[in-house]
Structure 1
Amino acid sequence: MLTNPEKTRAELVTWIRDYFAENGPICSAVIGISGGKDSTIVAALCKEALGAERVVGVLMPNDVQSDIDDAKAVVKHLGIPYMIVNIGNAYCALTEAIVQGEGFFRVTGRNDLARDAEINTPPRLRMATLYAVGQNLPNGARVANTCNGSEDYVGYSTKFGDAAGDFSPLAQLVVEEVRQIGRLLDIPRHLVEKIPSDGLSGQSDEDKLGFTYAVLDRYIRTGEIDDVKTKERIDYLQRINRHKLELMPSFTPSKL
């Protein structure tokens, strides 16, 4: 884990500041605020780097969000401008349009969305919302990716959903390292220690993955792991999800 969390925190703030200096000197950072540790920590880091007035939080419940009060507490504690965009109607309308689309049953053999599509559509709608909000801000915006390195390693994110964004402060930090940074910031401690959940499947991240972040973090950082089956599962997830972190393949024609 981090041997000097305070040094890393300072480097993160400088990195964010430098990114904006080069890519949007007067732009705001737009962040989807879920009420979990990652979005909370990214918002706090951006506030420190850019000032509260240049950090916009967007809360995006899908109809009802059980922990929406945590998300509200984050933006109010940080004192950043925010808005609430309920994507529930958009999700229902899109789902209905797909399922009732001409040829849907003929092509898929289904009368409803597959479970993975149900889970992944909301984060894709949320990312579209963040970019739409950003394009309406007077000085422009850059959208924060709030995924951490542990999630990225096993592909625990939605491609073109929460895996998207313009800059990614936490991508090189595993979960416990993110918590180390969070403990140094002026944010509610219970949010830093909050059990990670995607808010979509009804399970915690660790229940869904089948192993703990502590085990995953240790494996990523040291290569050490005690259970062979867990190692095989982590390696499998890393292999099949690698495409989420790679640039889209493109064809290059040979010279004529």
Structure 2
Amino acid sequence: MREFNVEDQTKKLIEYTREWFNKFGDNTRAVIGISGGKDSSVTAAILKEALGADRVVGIIMPNGEMSDLADAKMLVDFLGIPNEVVPITDYYNAAIATFEKASAFEVTKDLRINLAPRLRMSTLYAVAQGQPVTSFVVNTCNASEDYVGYSTKYGDAAGDVSLLQDFTVTEVLQIGEYLGLPNELVHKTPSDGLSGMSDEDKLGFKYAQLDEYISDSNADIPADVRESIERKHVANLHKLQLMPAYKRH
């Protein structure tokens, strides 16, 4: 089982974040999508501690009736960071309508689910490019999600810098508590907001089991859970790797 000192790691994470952004200039900004869940909440809080509120731009991107909208607004108000609500509903619906006229592919449930995070990431990069100073998009995925590929390639899996990639869900929760974030945000049941299912329902196992496996591959977890974790990990490794490219010889 790997050790985790929340105070030590949080301080190191804040310092890493400050140093990374400041090497591009002491007014460089961070652009982050705010969903109202634990990962965006903790990441935004780290950014505020590292850079100051005025260098963090929180973007809330509802798609239709976003049940998380109130939580997202609670977070930006709590942190006092500049923010903007940028609905993606119109161009999400326009894209789906265009796709439905196509004959070469089918508009599947998974296509609908993964389209939204890809549009959100495009929006974040547009916001970053529209800033008056150099700005970077911050990824909010954690180690647990990354290990089993529970993210959308070129969607929420994208970004210019990742702050939580080496922390499991269990550790992210501890960081959120240490930073004094509202309990209802830190311990909110995670879901994709589209399928009507929680993350754990879709994965088929608990994050606690996944984190135990990541921390100790010999952990005592059910064989079917172990098999599922290992299968998902292998199938989704491509999301963590650079695009393969032919090298002429």
**Short-chain TM bin:** over 0.9
1:130 aligns with 2:124: yes
Unaligned 5+ segments in structure 1 are none
C-alpha deviations, 1:5-29, integer Å up to 9, x for none?
0000000000101111224542210
Equivalent residues of 2:22, 2:28 under 8 A apart: no
Does the CA-based 8 Å contact 2:13-2:163 persist in structure 1?
yes
Match of 2:221 among 216, 219, 226: 226
- Cα distance change of structure 1 residues 86 and 168 upon mapping to structure 2, 3 Å threshold: same
Number of the residue aligned with 1:45: 46
Q: How many residues matched?
A: 247
Paired residues of 2:48 and 2:56 also in contact (CA < 8 A):
yes
In structure 2, relative to structure 1, the CA distance for the partners of 1:57 and 1:2 (3 Å cut) is farther
Q: What's 2:108 paired with? A: 114
Aligned match of 2:67: 66
Q: Secondary structure at the match of 1:211?
A: coil
- Asked if structure 1 preserves the Cα contact closer than 8 Å seen for 2:36 and 2:75, the reply is yes
The residue aligned with 2:56 is 55
Q: Kindly, what percent of the aligned residue pairs are identical?
A: 51
Question: What is the CA RMSD across the aligned residues, in angstroms?
Answer: 1.1
Q: 2:4 matched to which residue of 1?
A: 3
Q: CA deviation at 1:186?
A: 3.2
In the alignment, does 2:174 pair up with 1:173? no
1:27–1:52: structure 2 CA closer, same or farther, 3 Å change rule? same
The 3 A distance-change label for structure 1 pair 89 and 2 is farther
Residues in 1 aligned to 2:45 and 2:21: alpha-carbon distance in whole angstroms: 16
Deviation at 1:140, TM superposition (A): 2.3
Tell me whether 1:184 sits opposite 2:185 in the alignment.
Answer: no
1:22-41 Cα offsets, whole Å, 9 max, x none, are 24542210010000000000
Secondary structure of 2:192's aligned partner: coil
Partner of 1:35: 36
Partner of 1:150: 144
The one-letter amino acid of 2:128's match is G
CA contact (8 A) 2:62 2:88 kept: yes
- Runs of 4+ displaced beyond 6 Å: none
**Match of residue 79 from structure 1:** 80
Alpha-carbon distance between aligned partners in 1 of 2:214 and 2:4, rounded to the nearest angstrom:
16
Indicate if the aligned counterparts of 1:24 and 1:142 stay in contact, CA closer than 8 A.
no
Counterparts of 1:196 and 1:65, CA distance in 2: 14
Corresponding residue number in structure 1 for 2:193: 199
Superposition TM-score, scaled by structure 1 size: 0.94
8 A Cα contact 2:4 2:171, kept in partner: no
In structure 1, how many angstroms separate the alpha carbons of the residues matched to 2:204 and 2:154? 24
- Offset of residue 124 of structure 1: 0.2
CA shift for structure 1 position 2 = 4.7
Residue of structure 2 equivalent to 1:216: 210
d(CA) in 2 for partners of 1:157, 1:28:
24
Q: TM (normalized to structure 2)?
A: 0.96
SS in 2 for 1:182: helix
Q: Deviations over 1:82-116 (max 9, x none)?
A: 0000000110001111221xxx22x23x4xx1111
Q: Partners in 2 of 1:193 and 1:120 — Cα distance?
A: 24
Residue 251 of structure 1 deviates from its aligned partner by 1.0
- CA distance in structure 1 between the partners assigned to 2:40 and 2:48 by the alignment: 12
Q: Secondary structure at the match of 1:142?
A: strand
- For the residues of structure 1 that align with 2:206 and 2:120, how far apart are their CA atoms? 27
Aligned to 2:230: 235
AA aligned to 1:249 is P
**Cα shift at 1:151:** 0.2
Distance (Å, rounded) in 2 between the aligned partners of 1:204 and 1:250: 36
Equivalent residue for 1:252?
Answer: 247
SS at 1:183's partner residue? helix
In the alignment, is the contact (CA less than 8 A) between 1:28 and 1:142 conserved in 2? yes
In the alignment, residue 240 of structure 1 is paired with which amino acid? A
